[in-house]
Every structure is written in C-alpha cells, then in structure tokens.
Amino acid sequence: MSESKNTLTVHLKIWRKNRGDDSGQMVDYTVSDVSPDSSFLEMLDVLNEELTKKGEIPLEFDSDCREGICGTCGLVINGIAHSPQHAIATCQLHMRHFTDGATITVEPFRAKAFIPIKDLVVDRSSFDRIISKGGYVTANTGSAPDAHALLIPKENSDLAMDAASCIGCGACVAACPNASASLFVAAKVSQYALQPQGRAEAGKRVMEMVAKMDEEGFGNCSNHGECEAVCPKEITIGNIARMKREFLKAALLSK
C-alpha cells in the first residue's frame, strides 16, 4: 500500500487589482506542498514568497491577530464571506478542509461602502465612522462599583455580551444581497441598550448610528439572514429587531 500524500496542491483564482485602477481581474495561481495543518493565510504567505522569488508583485490582503479576534482579515472564499466553514474568520480556516487539487476562488469583500484599495484589501473605515456616532458611553459612571451593586438581569447581561463579541469584520455586509450593515450596527446598539449604563444615551445613539450607516451608502435590511449565517461570532438577527425597536422608540419620543 502506498503512503498517503501529506501535502496538498491547490489552484487559486484570486482577484487582483492595482492601486488607483478602477478595474481588476481574476488571476490563476497554483501552490504546491501545502501542509493540511497550515491556515489559509499561511498558504497565501507561501504564495507571496513564491511570487517574490519570481520578481512578481506579492498579493496584498489584510490580517493582524490571526486568531479570529481583531476582525482585520476578510476574504470571500468560494463565494462565502470568510469561509465555507461555520462561525470562523478567514484566519481560522485551515487547509485540511480542502481536497488535494481543489480550485479555490478568493475575492475581497464587495460593497459600495467598502472602497477597493488593492487586491483583496478594501477600506472598511466606514465602520469606524459609524462607531464615532455613538458606539460608546460618554456618561460619567464614576469608579467601578461593587460587583453586585448594580443589579442586571442575567438574560440581559448574556445578550449584551453576545452582541459585544462582534469584531467588526464586515462579513455581514459582504454576504448581504443589499450590502446592509444592520447586523454590525445592531450589535453595537444592543450591547449598550441592554445595560443600564447605556440607557441614558440610547435614543441619541441609535438615531445617529443608523443615520450614519445610511449616509455611508450601506443598503437596507430585508431579513435574508445571510449576515447571521456568515458571522464568525454568531451574532443573531434578533439584534436587528432590537435596533429597529430602539429606533422606533427614539423616533416617537423625539417628536
């Protein structure tokens, strides 16, 4: 019996675009001797080493922590934002999930509000501008109180922590047919709306963040649920419902 092959060969179709160019194109590459235990980004690192040796321009892609924490990485792999695997960021995807000789399509996150920069890198600073409109608490809450001084229902604290786990990667936008940022904004609204420290500015927060989301060019939510399906932190669309309730309440009280 022959020994099983311990490495993979993969064929890549990668979107490449030069800085300042309006157009881009898919370019074919083949990477051999890929360890099944390597991550997807490590495989791209190997590709870049080969391109550098050939005197070609390396592929540009975003990454930082490579632990699924920072939300920097973000690729569309075989048509799915982040990964065909459930609830992981691109950096957590390993090559063992692909078969030897597989063809893999790699594209950037595409949305009107995510401006292409180069290759797989897009400008997601629109998220930062949305956060600047209310993704924080400005009220002076004083020094840290005793652990049980401020009673918060466990259900609320659990839901707030779930919402706060959003890493702002933008997969929800890339997956949504409307390129809506509703799941991202809803997560940031929810994490404060569910806590007493955030209630003082709840109305102002939701009104201004939603207005900024619209201004940035994101689409409207039509409940497709694609955002929830690709979220690496499994943020649920129940947060969008909460955001809409908060928005309606604030709109009525402002009249």
Domain total in the chain: 2
Closest CA to 119 of 132, 108, 130: 108
DSSP code for 95: G
Beta bridge partners of 11: 30, 103
- 81 with 160, same domain? no
pLDDT reported for residue 5? 63
Model-level pTM?
A: 0.92
Euclidean distance between CA atoms 205 and 201, whole angstroms: 6
Does 239 lie in the same domain as 139? yes
* Last residue of one domain, picked from the residues 118, 143, 168: 118
In a domain, 1, yes or no: no
CA distances to 20, 79, 158, 179, 211 from 131, rounded to whole Å, are: 27, 28, 22, 18, 12
Q: CA of 86: how far to CAs of 42, 220, 248, in Å?
A: 20, 25, 33
Residues pairing with 80 in the sheet: 77
Within-domain flag for 75: yes
- Residue span of the structural domain in which 208 resides: 125-253
| Bridge partners, residue 28, by sequence | 13
Residue finishing a domain among 89, 118, 147: 118
153-179 confidence digits (pLDDT tens):
999 999 999 999 999 999 999 999 999
State residue 71's pLDDT score.
93
pLDDT of residue 197: 86
Residues 67 and 147 in one domain: no
Alpha-carbon span 140 to 119, nearest angstrom: 44
What's residue 147's pLDDT? 66
Give me the DSSP letters along 55-91. Answer: TPPPPP---SSSSSSS----EEETTEES-SSTT--GG
Q: What is the 8-class DSSP label of residue 50?
A: H
Give me the average pLDDT of each 10-residue run along the chain (255 residues): 70 94 91 97 98 97 95 96 96 97 97 96 97 87 72 91 97 97 98 91 96 97 96 97 97 88
